Structure formats: C-alpha cells, structure tokens
A and B are shown apart, each in its own frame.
Chain A
C-alpha cells in the first residue's frame, strides 16, 4: 500500500516564478492537509481539503497561495510570484474521515533564489 506521494522532492525557483507542489494521498484517504515547515518553527497548518472542497484554509497566506484537490488527480499547492521567504519544506498529509491521525509524505523542499 503506497504511502502519501509528494513531488517534486526538491524544487528551485527564482523570485517571481510559480511553484506547484503535488500530493497524492494514500489509497482510500479522502482528506488532504498541507503544512509548511521552517527551521526552529515546527509545522504550521496551511489548508485542509476534501475532494473538490476546501474545508479549512485558515493557515494559508491571503495572497499568492492557493490549493486544490480535484475529483481526479493529486492535490496541488500553488505559490505564485515566489519570494525568498517562501523557501521551506512543504508537507502533505492524508487521512480517512474523522480519524485524526495523519499520514505524511516525504515533503517538497522549495528553494527560492
């Protein structure tokens, strides 16, 4: 049973470019979460999605960041016009409904030059 798959594992972008991070949840999991990890700050919740619905985006920056989880295909976290402060590890996690426990991917590490 494959785990949560994230790609790319590493992404380098120049300031002003767009970054797209993809996440395929574990089989049978309908809930997807995105977290951002900065050194010494732990994991910060960004957004919680179910298929075709954003359930909670209280942790998402108001501008430049968006997320989707379409009916078919992976969840995508999109960062437009990246800035150096966006450099971080972005983790996706999935879960079955109402379980609480999250299963994490290996993360996507974004570096903005």
Chain B
C-alpha cells in the first residue's frame, strides 16, 4: 500500500522568502510523485510531477521538487515566495504503471506574509 506524509499542516513565510513544503512517501513499487495546488473553492491543479529520469523536476509558477529515493522524499521548494502562492498544497503518489489511484497527503496550507 502507498501513503504520503506531509509535515506541517500550515506553513507561513514572508514574501520573498524561501518556500519549503515537505513530503515523504511510502511505496513498495517505484513511485510516480505529484504536487498539486488548490486555491479556495477550486479544484486541484498540477504543479509538477516525477515519473522517471531526472530527479529534479521543475513545475509551474517557479516551483520545483527533488525526488530522493534514499530519503523517500519529494519536497517542494520555491526560492522566493509571492503573495499569489498562498494556497493549499497536496503531495500525491501512485505506482508507475498508473494502475492505482493517486494517494494524497493531508495537505499543507501556505500563508505568505507581506
């Protein structure tokens, strides 16, 4: 069975500061990993994904994440936070065959302080 743990249900950063949202996964098979963002009263939008190949993945809005197999981690970062980054962020895992539904973490709410 697969699972995702997101450390910190709420993270607050100053505008212009580094954003770091943590995600650890558990999977018995090689994983596909995803980060989604959700703005209030909206659906989820894909930020980035890791499937195979390069372990540093770049996504939209200046976000990136690095797959570290030895640490079973897929942390999300952005060098400089913007007010518009305030949202809820979800990490998710599935198997590489795409046969299993995505399993989501509980989410991390990011606040950006002016």
**A residues within 8 Å of B by Cβ?**
4, 33, 35, 40-45, 48, 56, 59, 91, 93, 95, 97-107, 109
Contact = CB atoms under 8 A, between A and B. Distances in A.
A100 B32 contact: yes
Given A45-B101, A48-B101, A100 B43 contact: no
B45 A41 contact: no
Contact of A43 (B51, B90, B94, B99): B90
Contacts, number: 60
Give the contact-size bracket for chain B: 20 to 34
Contacts of A100: 32, 34, 49, 51, 94-96, 98, 102
Contacts of B58: none
Interface in B92-114: 94-107
Given A104-B43, A104-B45, A40 B97 contact: no
